[in-house]
């Protein structure tokens, strides 16, 4: 069965190619640094590796010499010495000095990594189970916000028999876009549990802690696409919330900002509009598959014991106020969607769940205006 | 080595023979924990199973300590075992100190590090209206407002009670050393009584907190630290009082001699430890 | 310490047993108050847990053999990782060392038994209930906890009832450890044979004494942390919830205040074991006994000041990052002293290389590699790059498997003859050593590369570029697992059932009171203590 599933995976490892801006095949060292900080980390690591190797070789050269020469089978008689204060002091002091020598250059980098002042652009990233939300808070592009999901559809992820492309875990639908050579300050927070925002090529990793903001920064020096993944265990789809940053030229960035703003304006929903049932269901299905399937599953059956079924769920079939409350404010593992989705999206997804699978709720339609009212 | 209370048959170091109690205690703990797991998750049978387990534990402890007391009274415990008991009780109390340390540490951290953090400039993005003052209702507005608990008067009276109980306990100890057994019993009884009054006040304070101050376990980090610190302290007072009651019972049964009464001393150390923890609580939880 | 000479006029290793307290059949084990029997129980328990935890590891490696989800869904994978960590740390490694302490501490200090024999058995009998709770938790709705062995809040708040079972299991394992430590401390402080001053005491006892203090200091803190988790889950407290003014990072501080000393709890007794084996097979006294004692104590003290090196990516203030970096790196100094002393002990010795010695040398060699990767992780900027990647997984398996576990194997081969009365088969021992050493490195060495390249840990599925090293690791893992099955069937069981009878002192270079009693050690030893000159 194991062998069969291997075949079914249909993606022999030798056919995989390097992912530029992400991991290379059989990569032995850090990814190619594209920021000053990442370079410093790279050379710190090289320094540490060399020093450690030298000590390692020195210590074990002595040990293996002894092992080879001072053996009984060669007739070696054991000596009787068993202490020497001078030697003890020497091998306490020398390593102490070595350790100080290692820590000093690192200190400079620590201080530099922490300096998030004077950023050109500030972006807030919000970790959510299991996607990232981005808000451009300051600088050019201010006001842009979007959600960034794994691009590979969930049905493909859970089904190993589907052939996928080789970057299927490190692609997103909406990448972060930033201009090259600009200091970007990332402000991290989370909605539900702790996540971590990491881009190896930038030397950046920062936990996103619910209820708190933490920051970090980078200044990418090379145009390209850089890939990272969530680096803090955040529940079942921890492995499926990648991060992609497109570093583009200044002109391209301007263009992207313009396009993105137009796109947002075009998509902006008027929360006072009244929708038809079909419209809402159609829209809701999209919202559902982007945000809800991870837990409640495409068939609405949930995961027994962990995530409640919506198909036939009492809350979904009952009065809509109860469902609106839970969707807006969350409860236990259910996140609060009020601050994440627009009123239209929430209205749509609730309407969708009330009319899907075997569900035929009595109160079968929720309008955006009701969500706006519930926000108050 | 010479042993003052040594019987002729006392071995160099007494090692008890096979005993069923450790195994039964372990199994009872399993029942306790299964019951507890079910209980906290709302299964109706959980509390019963938990209770059955607890009864099992108590049953075992009763017999286990009974065995130990019998051995002690029949002179099997020599001076060296006495020293073992002393070491073990001291280090057990040390581990209890560390347990309280975790909660004191949580209080310190939440108050001195987390709270200013949540209110700083960066966090205005998330919590624009949060102002740092201890006894806040948390930044999200999910906690109902409540009043905090000051040091007057119940906690102060309680401090006096516990300090007094430390003195009565010491008097009782001196009495037993002087072989004034009835004196010892009376002062020990007074100590337990003071402990019981303390617990009565504590219960009253909780009722007051819930009904008048709206201060509950769910009252944000203030309520969390307040109730867990005072609650675990109260639990330890109860344990200490039970230990002292057993000691009292043993005094009345004629156990202990002026120079061989470690059970008394161990319980007394524990009581003083509980006392000291209270002083910490009094300052950190109620005053500051 | 090797000046330890025994005054045989007092030698009380009588062969006869008291009929009244030498029970037979199952009662002997379940009602045991004998330190040797309880030690044996501990050792078997921990071995069973090693196999269980190892089986979970095999499932992990099988899933990671290839990218994609082939054998299981990610939620189950996370349960496996979590339970693997918990079972190995609390079920396999820690109880194994307690088993060694039970067997060897009284024998080494010339005591008749542990100070509190019944409590000793209670410490043991809390462990199977804890294991039962952990195993049962797989079968409750939602399954076992999947929050990682570190049980970070607030993910723990989302878990099902399995989480509570794990919390309660940890509570009782903690109680067991606290009682066990008290027992060991009291035994060592109060029951040493006349003449055995602290500075004449065998290194294994020293390391355990210090370990026991670590346990006493940190197990209650863990209990506090998970109790707060419990109340956050069920009783509406806000310790780790920002909405109520709490802080998830506070959990990490409390946990790692326990967690870092915990890793030294798992290595100090290993240092102790190795400090006996190296001198025995170099036929030369341990070099720098006193400095070994001081180094052990320094490691223990420093271990309370480094915990936040697990939290560099939480965004601590820069001063805290620097403090914890410096403090962490300092630990290399006393650890280095230990390594150097062992090498100096071998230097100009008269060495032979029986299996215990092989495992001890293997320990020094591979543990040092793990120590160096630890040092590299201690450098804050590098750690920020490597935190929560497979580099960390590689680091800690180097120190835990090739460190703690290899030392345990070394100890088994060294003292096993005393326990069973039989010599193990030397050839099989050597096969076990070389097989383990090689497959161990095949399994865990490639993980360094994976981590450097950025593969996060606790991932059920990984980008395809990481495939090759994962395949190598999985293949090595199976090999390593099979070597342990071989150990059980080809070494342990045959040695218990039979084999060449062991002399009272099977190693001509060995020192210490444990070798003055017959092999196998009789039920009662040192009922009147020997005198150490
Ligand atoms: C037996 C267990 C054990 C031991 C002994 C150690 C030993 C050390 N560990 Fe390790 N560690 C773990 C078990 C252990 N660790 C575990 C389980 C984790 C992960 C937990 C989790 O997240 O799940 C971890 C994680 C971990 C991290 C966090 C990584 C991360 O998550 O980002 C760090 C960072 O500083 C670290 C550092 C160290 C250091 C500096 C030592 C030092 O003690 C090493 C000292 C030894 C040497 C340095 C080698 C010998 C010395 C010489 C030969 C002298 C000369 C040397 C010099 C002068 C350089 N460890
Ligand atoms: C304390 C000791 C310890 C030990 C001994 C081991 C032993 C092993 N561990 Fe480790 N491991 C941890 C402690 C330990 N581990 C910890 C603390 C974590 C972190 C958990 C977390 O992230 O929360 C971890 C995590 C961890 C991971 C990362 C999982 C992830 O991040 O998702 C991996 C992956 O390969 C792994 C593999 C292994 C392997 C292959 C072994 C092997 O050495 C095991 C070998 C033993 C056997 C295999 C048993 C004997 C064989 C049988 C019973 C027969 C069946 C076997 C076959 C069919 C071959 N472990
Ligand atoms: Cu989000 Cu892991
Ligand atoms: Cu550590």
Count CB-CB contacts under 10 A for residue A252: 15
Which residues constitute the domain of residue B14? Answer: 9-77
Among the candidates B29, B55, B77, a domain finishes at B77
Residue of chain C whose alpha carbon sits nearest to that of B106: C250
Residues B149 and B49 occupy one common structural domain: no
Question: What is the DSSP secondary-structure string of A252-274?
Answer: HHHHHHHHHHHHHHHH---TT--
Section A246-257 average pLDDT: 95
Residues B200 and B71 occupy one common structural domain: no
Cα end-to-end span (Å), chain C: 10
In terms of average pLDDT, the best of A231-240, A355-364, C22-31 is A231-240
CATH number of the domain within which B20 lies: 1.10.287.70
Total CB pairs under 8 A between chain A and B: 19
Among the candidates B17, B52, B77, a domain finishes at B77
Query: Which range is least confidently modeled, A8-22, B70-84, B147-161, C298-312?
Result: A8-22
Q: Is B123–A137 a contact, with Cβ atoms under 8 angstroms apart?
A: no
**pLDDT tier for residue C222 given thresholds of 50, 70 and 90:** very high
CA–CA dist C29, C19 (Å, integer): 16
Residues B111 and B242 occupy one common structural domain: yes
Residue B1 lies in a domain: no
Question: What is the DSSP secondary-structure string of A162-188?
Answer: S---TTTTS-BSS-EEEETT--EEEEE
Given a cut of 70, whether residue C10 has pLDDT beyond it is: no
- Using the CB atoms, write b or e for C112-145: b if 16+ within 10 Å: bbbbbbbbbbbbbbbbbbbbbbbebbbebebbbb
Contact criterion met (CB below 8 Å) for B263 and B250: yes
Domain ranges of chain A: 36-69+84-113, 121-267, 277-375
Residues B253 and B232 occupy one common structural domain: yes
C314 touches chain A (CB under 8 A): yes
Per-residue pLDDT of A260-312, as tens digits, reads 988 888 777 777 788 888 888 888 888 888 788 777 888 888 877 677 888 88
Answer CATH for A277-375 from 3.30.429.10, 1.10.760.10, 3.40.50.740, 3.10.450.50: 1.10.760.10
Ligand 3 centroid – CA A196 distance (Å): 6
Query: Which range is least confidently modeled, B96-110, B129-143, B197-211?
Result: B129-143
Q: Which of C176, C187, C207, C380 is catalytic?
A: C176
Section C512-524 average pLDDT: 91
Section A60-71 average pLDDT: 94
Q: Which pLDDT belongs to residue A193?
A: 94
Query: Which range is least confidently modeled, A192-196, B16-20, C14-18, C360-364?
Result: C14-18
List, in order, residues 6 or more apart from A250 with CB less than 8 Å away.
A179, A180, A182
Contact criterion met (CB below 8 Å) for B173 and B265: yes
CA atoms within 13 A on the CB side of C85: 20
Residues B182 and B219 occupy one common structural domain: yes
List, in order, residues 6 or more apart from B41 with CB less than 8 Å away.
C161, C164, C234
Residue B4 lies in a domain: no
Dihedral sign (CA A34, A35, A36, A39): negative
Can you say whether residue B220 is alpha, beta or left, with left for phi > 0 and alpha for psi between -120 and 50 degrees?
left
Per-residue pLDDT of C92-116, as tens digits, reads 999 999 999 999 999 999 999 999 9
Nearest CA to ligand 3 atom 1: A195
Q: Tell me which residues of chain A, numbers 93 to 152, contact chain C at a CB-CB cutoff of 8 Å.
A: 95-96, 99, 102-103, 106-107, 109-111, 113-114
Section C195-214 average pLDDT: 95
Residues B204 and B249 occupy one common structural domain: yes
B125 touches chain A (CB under 8 A): yes
CA–CA dist C275, A224 (Å, integer): 54
Per-residue pLDDT of C263-289, as tens digits, reads 999 999 999 999 999 999 999 999 999
Given a cut of 50, whether residue C7 has pLDDT beyond it is: no
The nearest CA of chain A is from the CA of C380 a distance in Å of 7
Helix, strand or coil, per DSSP, at residue A199:
strand
Mean per-residue pLDDT over chain B, rounded: 90
Could you tell me the strand order of the sheet in which A121-128 lies? A145-148, A131-138, A121-128, A184-190, A214-218
Q: How far is CA B228 from the centre of its chain?
A: 12
Q: Which pLDDT belongs to residue C117?
A: 92
Q: Which pLDDT belongs to residue C532?
A: 82
How many domains is chain B built from?
Answer: 2
Per-residue pLDDT of C351-371, as tens digits, reads 999 999 999 999 999 999 999
Q: Which pLDDT belongs to residue B8?
A: 43
Q: Is B26–C125 a contact, with Cβ atoms under 8 angstroms apart?
A: yes
Q: How far is CA B176 from the centre of its chain?
A: 24
CA–CA dist B120, B131 (Å, integer): 9
Mutate to test the pocket of ligand 1, among C395, C397, C455 (most ligand atoms within 8 A of CB): C395
Q: Tell me which residues of chain B, numbers 165 to 194, contact chain C at a CB-CB cutoff of 8 Å.
A: none
CA-nearest of B65, B104, B122, B114 to B255 is B65
Ligand 4 centroid – CA C260 distance (Å): 4
Per-residue pLDDT of C25-52, as tens digits, reads 888 888 888 999 999 999 999 999 999 9
Count CB-CB contacts under 10 A for residue B68: 18
CA atoms within 13 A on the CB side of C263: 28
In terms of average pLDDT, the best of B282-286, C236-240, C357-361 is C357-361
**pLDDT tier for residue A125 given thresholds of 50, 70 and 90:** very high
Residue B115 lies in a domain: yes
Mean per-residue pLDDT over chain A, rounded: 87
List, in order, residues 6 or more apart from B263 with CB less than 8 Å away.
B69, B72, B246, B247, B250, B255, B256
Q: Which pLDDT belongs to residue B36?
A: 95
CA–CA dist A343, A348 (Å, integer): 8
Report in angstroms the alpha-carbon separations of C495 from C413, C418, C420, C499: 10, 11, 7, 6
Percent of chain C having pLDDT more than 90? 86
Given a cut of 50, whether residue C8 has pLDDT beyond it is: no
The nearest CA of chain B is from the CA of C192 a distance in Å of 11
**pLDDT tier for residue A15 given thresholds of 50, 70 and 90:** low
Residue B110 lies in a domain: yes
Given a cut of 70, whether residue C16 has pLDDT beyond it is: no
Per-residue pLDDT of C369-428, as tens digits, reads 999 999 999 999 999 999 999 999 999 999 999 999 999 999 999 999 999 999 999 999
- Ligand 1: which atom is nearest the Cα of residue C367? 49
CA–CA dist A373, A340 (Å, integer): 16
**pLDDT tier for residue A14 given thresholds of 50, 70 and 90:** low
Looking at all shown ligands, the one closest to residue C327's CA atom is 1
Question: What is the DSSP secondary-structure string of A86-117?
Answer: HHHHHHHHHHHHHHHHHHHHHHHHHHHHH---
- Comparing A286 with C136, the larger pLDDT belongs to C136
CA–CA dist A248, A221 (Å, integer): 10
Total CB pairs under 8 A between chain A and C: 345
Residues B54 and B125 occupy one common structural domain: no
Among the candidates B31, B47, B77, a domain finishes at B77
Q: Tell me which residues of chain C, numbers 259 to 288, contact chain A at a CB-CB cutoff of 8 Å.
A: 282-288
Residue B247 lies in a domain: yes
CA-nearest of C271, C426, C424 to C358 is C426
Residues B29 and B108 occupy one common structural domain: no
Three-state secondary structure along B100-122? HHHHHHHHHHHHHHHHHHHCCCH
Q: Which pLDDT belongs to residue B7?
A: 41
Given a cut of 80, whether residue B11 has pLDDT beyond it is: no
Residues B158 and B23 occupy one common structural domain: no
Could you tell me the strand order of the sheet in which A224-228 lies? A176-179, A243-248, A224-228
Residues B30 and B58 occupy one common structural domain: yes
Residues B272 and B154 occupy one common structural domain: yes
Q: How far is CA A324 from the centre of its chain?
A: 29
Domain A121-267 grouped into CATH 3.40.50.720: no
ipTM entry: 0.91
Ligand 4 centroid – CA C35 distance (Å): 32
CA–CA dist C331, C308 (Å, integer): 14
Contact criterion met (CB below 8 Å) for B251 and B185: yes
Q: How far is CA B44 from the centre of its chain?
A: 29
Given a cut of 90, whether residue A77 has pLDDT beyond it is: no
Residues B118 and B153 occupy one common structural domain: yes
**pLDDT tier for residue A4 given thresholds of 50, 70 and 90:** very low
What proportions of chain B, in percent to the nearest 5, are helix, strand and coil? 70, 0, 25
Q: Which pLDDT belongs to residue B77?
A: 85
Ligand 4 centroid – CA C306 distance (Å): 7
Q: Is A212–B139 a contact, with Cβ atoms under 8 angstroms apart?
A: no
Residue B266 lies in a domain: yes
Percent of chain A having pLDDT more than 90? 49
Residue B2 lies in a domain: no
- Comparing A348 with A46, the larger pLDDT belongs to A46
Query: Which chain A positions have a beta carbon within 8 Å of B139's beta carbon?
Result: 211
**pLDDT tier for residue C5 given thresholds of 50, 70 and 90:** very low
Q: Which pLDDT belongs to residue C264?
A: 96
Per-residue pLDDT of A79-100, as tens digits, reads 888 889 999 999 999 999 999 9
CA–CA dist A244, A152 (Å, integer): 14
């Amino acid at each position: 069965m194991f062998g069969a599933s291997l075949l079914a995976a249909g993606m022999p490892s030798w056919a995989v190619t390097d992912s530029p801006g992400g991991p290379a095949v059989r990569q032995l060292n850090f990814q190619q640094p594209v920021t000053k900080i990442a370079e410093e980390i790279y050379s710190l690591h090289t320094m540490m590796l060399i020093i450690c190797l030298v000590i390692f070789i020195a210590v074990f050269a002595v040990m293996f010499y002894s092992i080879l020469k001072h053996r009984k089978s060669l007739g070696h008689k054991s000596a009787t010495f068993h202490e020497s204060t001078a030697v003890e002091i020497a091998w306490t002091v020398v390593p102490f000095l070595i350790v100080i020598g290692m820590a000093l250059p690192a200190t400079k980098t620590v201080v530099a990594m922490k300096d998030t002042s004077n950023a050109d652009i500030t972006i807030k990233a919000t970790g959510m189970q299991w996607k990232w939300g981005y808000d451009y808070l300051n600088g050019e592009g201010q006001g842009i916000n979007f959600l960034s999901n794994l691009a590979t559809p969930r049905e493909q992820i859970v089904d190993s028999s589907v052939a996928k492309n080789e970057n299927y875990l490190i692609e997103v639908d909406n990448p972060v876009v930033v201009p090259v050579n600009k200091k970007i300050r990332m402000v991290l927070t989370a909605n539900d549990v702790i996540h971590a925002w990491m881009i190896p090529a930038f030397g950046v990793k920062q936990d996103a802690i619910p209820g708190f903001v933490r920051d970090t920064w980078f200044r990418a020096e090379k145009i390209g696409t850089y890939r990272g993944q969530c680096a803090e265990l955040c529940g079942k789809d921890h492995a499926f919330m990648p991060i992609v940053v497109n570093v583009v030229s200044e002109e391209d960035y301007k263009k992207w900002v313009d396009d993105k703003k137009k796109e947002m304006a075009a998509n902006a929903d008027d929360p006072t509009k009244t929708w038809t049932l079909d419209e809402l269901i159609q829209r809701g299905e999209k919202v559902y598959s982007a945000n809800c399937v991870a837990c409640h599953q495409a068939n609405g059956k949930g995961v027994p014991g962990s995530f409640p079924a919506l198909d036939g769920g009492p809350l979904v079939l009952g009065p809509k106020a109860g469902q609106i409350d839970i969707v807006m404010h969350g409860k236990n593992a259910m996140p609060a969607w009020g601050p994440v989705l627009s009123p239209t999206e929430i209205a749509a997804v609730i309407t969708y769940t009330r009319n899907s699978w075997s569900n035929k709720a009595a109160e079968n339609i929720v309008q955006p205006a009701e969500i706006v009212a519930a926000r108050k | 080595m010479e042993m003052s209370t040594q019987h002729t048959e006392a071995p160099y170091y007494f090692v008890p023979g096979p005993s069923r109690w450790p195994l039964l205690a372990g199994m009872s703990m399993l029942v306790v924990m299964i019951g507890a797991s079910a209980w906290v998750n709302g299964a109706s049978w959980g509390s019963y199973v938990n209770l059955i387990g607890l009864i099992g534990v108590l049953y075992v402890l009763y017999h286990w300590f009974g065995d130990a007391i019998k051995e002690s009274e029949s002179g099997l415990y020599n001076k060296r075992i006495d020293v073992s008991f002393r070491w073990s009780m001291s280090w057990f109390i040390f581990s209890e100190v560390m347990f309280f340390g975790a909660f004191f540490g949580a209080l310190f951290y939440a108050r001195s590090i987390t709270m200013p953090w949540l209110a700083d400039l960066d966090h205005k993005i998330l919590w624009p209206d949060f102002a740092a003052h201890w006894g806040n209702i948390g930044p999200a507005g999910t906690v109902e407002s409540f009043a905090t608990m000051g040091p007057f008067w119940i906690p102060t009276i309680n401090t006096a009670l516990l300090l007094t109980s430390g003195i009565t306990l010491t008097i009782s100890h001196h009495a037993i050393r002087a072989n004034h057994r009835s004196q010892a019993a009376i002062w020990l009884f007074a100590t337990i009584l003071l402990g019981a009054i303390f617990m009565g006040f504590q219960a009253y304070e909780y009722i007051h907190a819930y009904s008048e101050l709206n201060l509950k376990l769910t009252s944000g980090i203030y309520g969390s630290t307040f109730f867990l610190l005072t609650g675990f302290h109260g639990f330890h007072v109860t344990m200490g009082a039970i230990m002292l009651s057993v000691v009292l019972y043993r005094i009345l049964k004629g156990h202990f001699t002026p120079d061989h009464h470690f059970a008394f001393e161990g319980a007394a150390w524990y009581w003083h430890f509980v006392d000291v923890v209270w002083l910490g609580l009094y300052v950190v939880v109620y005053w500051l | 310490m090797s000046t330890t000479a025994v005054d045989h006029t007092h030698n009380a290793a009588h062969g006869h047993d008291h009929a009244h307290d030498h029970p037979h059949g199952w009662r002997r084990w379940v009602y045991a108050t004998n330190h040797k029997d309880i030690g044996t129980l501990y050792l078997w328990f921990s071995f069973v847990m090693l196999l269980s935890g190892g089986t979970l590891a095999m499932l992990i490696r099988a899933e990671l053999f290839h990218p994609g989800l082939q054998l299981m869904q990610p939620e189950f994978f996370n349960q496996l990782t979590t339970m693997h960590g918990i079972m190995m740390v609390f079920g396999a490694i820690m109880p194994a060392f307690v088993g060694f302490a039970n067997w060897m501490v009284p024998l080494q200090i010339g005591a008749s038994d542990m100070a509190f024999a019944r409590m000793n058995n209670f410490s043991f009998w809390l462990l199977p209930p804890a294991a039962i709770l952990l195993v049962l938790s797989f079968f409750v709705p939602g399954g076992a906890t999947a929050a990682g062995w570190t049980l970070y809040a607030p993910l723990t708040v989302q878990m099902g009832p399995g989480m509570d079972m794990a919390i309660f299991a940890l509570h009782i394992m903690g109680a067991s450890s606290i009682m066990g430590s008290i027992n060991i401390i009291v035994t060592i402080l109060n029951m040493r044979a006349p003449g055995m001053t602290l500075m004449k005491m065998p290194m294994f006892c020293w390391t355990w004494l210090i370990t026991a203090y670590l346990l006493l200091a940190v197990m209650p803190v863990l209990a506090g942390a998970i109790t707060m988790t419990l109340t956050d889950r069920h009783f509406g407290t806000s310790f780790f919830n920002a909405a109520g003014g709490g802080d998830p990072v506070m959990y990490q501080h409390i946990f790692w205040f326990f967690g870092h000393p915990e890793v030294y709890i798992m290595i100090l007794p290993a240092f102790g074991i190795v400090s006996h084996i190296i001198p025995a097979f170099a036929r030369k006294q341990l070099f720098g006994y006193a400095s070994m004692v001081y180094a052990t104590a320094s490691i223990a003290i420093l271990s309370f000041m480094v915990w936040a090196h697990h939290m560099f990516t939480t965004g601590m203030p820069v001063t805290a990052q620097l403090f914890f970096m410096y403090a962490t790196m300092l630990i290399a100094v006393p650890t280095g002293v230990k390594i150097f002393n062992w090498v100096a002990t071998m230097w100009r010795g008269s060495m032979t290389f029986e299996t215990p010695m092989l495992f001890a040398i293997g320990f020094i060699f591979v543990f040092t590699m793990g120590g160096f990767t630890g040092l590299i992780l201690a450098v804050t900027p590098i750690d920020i790059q490597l935190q929560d990647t497979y580099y960390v997984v590689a680091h800690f398996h180097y120190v835990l498997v090739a460190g703690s576990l290899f030392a345990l194997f070394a100890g088994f081969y060294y003292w096993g003859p005393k326990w069973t009365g039989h010599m193990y088969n030397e050839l099989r021992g050597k096969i076990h050593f070389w097989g383990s050493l090689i497959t161990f490195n095949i399994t865990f060495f490639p993980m360094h590369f994976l981590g450097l390249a950025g593969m996060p840990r606790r991932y059920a599925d990984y980008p395809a570029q990481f495939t090759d090293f994962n395949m190598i690791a999985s293949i090595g893992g199976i090999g390593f697992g099979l070597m342990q099955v071989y150990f059980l069937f080809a070494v342990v069981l045959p040695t218990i059932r039979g084999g060449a009878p062991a002399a009272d002192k099977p190693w001509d270079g060995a020192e210490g009171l444990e070798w003055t009693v017959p092999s196998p050690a009789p039920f009662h030893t040192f009922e009147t203590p020997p005198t150490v000159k």
